[in-house]
């Protein structure tokens, strides 16, 4: 009995102290790693949310502009089409319906790829359109997508039997297409295709 009481009074041994410190260090390491992993997941989620918000905003912007394309010839030249587009650029007359006085009316819209220091940028140019006036070239548009890695535009016409025609990589007909599909790819990934139906389209 005396030896047991003597051992208890001596406290912890050096081995026990070392073992306790090792367990404490291991627990702290696991806790720090878990905290860093949680912070990384939160940061990734925030970045992903920002990217998704940007894609939603750009999708709404483009859909609104293309959806309100007008069946108006872009120039007074004979045979001039109402929408000019190929695989990586698009120009058309659209109607803006802004809530701010003076913003509404007809505009020439151009979807272009503008060179920038960090790579191409997808931009939209809006210039007020007047019948008979020539449209000046786009010098500085509203940036939509930075670090653009690819852009593809696909057009579908409306057949006389009122059904969608085949995919086309270029549009120069004197009528509006039934549908425009905008495929965007940035440095991260490919976006969900933006498919826009144009109510004013007529059979070609």
Better pLDDT: 122 or 80: 122
140-157 average pLDDT score: 91
- Rounded Cα gap, residues 163 and 1, in angstroms: 100
pLDDT tens readout for residues 43-65 = 666 666 777 888 999 999 999 99
Q: How many residues appear in the chain?
A: 204
pLDDT, position 201:
76
**Which helix or strand (DSSP H or E) is residue 63 part of?**
helix 14-67
pLDDT tens readout for residues 96-141 = 876 554 567 889 899 998 877 677 899 999 988 887 767 767 767 8
- Rounded Cα gap, residues 80 and 1, in angstroms: 110
- Rounded Cα gap, residues 128 and 110, in angstroms: 12
Residue 204 in this model has a pLDDT that exceeds 60: no
Better pLDDT: 173 or 119: 173
Q: Which two tokens mark 132?
A: 């008979």
Residue 6 — pLDDT band, cuts 50, 70, 90? Answer: very low
**Which helix or strand (DSSP H or E) is residue 5 part of?**
helix 2-9
Place of tokens 């997808």: 122
Q: What is the mean pLDDT of the chain?
A: 81
pLDDT, position 123:
92
What ranges do the domains of the chain cover?
54-197
């Amino acid at each position: 009995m005396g030896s047991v009481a003597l051992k208890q009074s001596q406290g912890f041994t050096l081995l026990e102290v070392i073992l306790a410190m090792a367990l404490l260090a291991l627990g702290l390491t696991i806790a720090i790693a878990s905290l860093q992993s949680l912070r990384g997941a939160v940061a990734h989620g925030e970045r992903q949310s920002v990217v998704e918000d940007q894609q939603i905003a750009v999708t709404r912007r483009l859909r609104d502009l293309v959806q309100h394309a007008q069946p108006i010839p872009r120039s007074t030249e004979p045979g001039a089409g109402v929408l000019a587009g190929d695989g990586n650029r698009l120009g058309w007359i659209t109607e803006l319906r802004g809530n701010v006085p003076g913003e509404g009316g007809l505009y020439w819209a151009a979807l272009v790829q503008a060179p920038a220091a960090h790579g191409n940028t997808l931009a939209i140019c809006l210039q007020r359109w007047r019948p008979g006036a020539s449209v000046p070239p786009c010098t500085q548009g509203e940036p939509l997508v930075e670090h653009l890695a690819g852009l593809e535009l696909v057009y579908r016409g409306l057949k006389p039997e009122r059904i969608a025609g085949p995919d086309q990589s270029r549009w120069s007909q004197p009528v509006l297409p039934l549908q425009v599909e905008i495929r965007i790819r940035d440095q991260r990934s490919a976006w969900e295709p933006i498919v826009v139906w144009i109510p004013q389209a007529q059979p070609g």
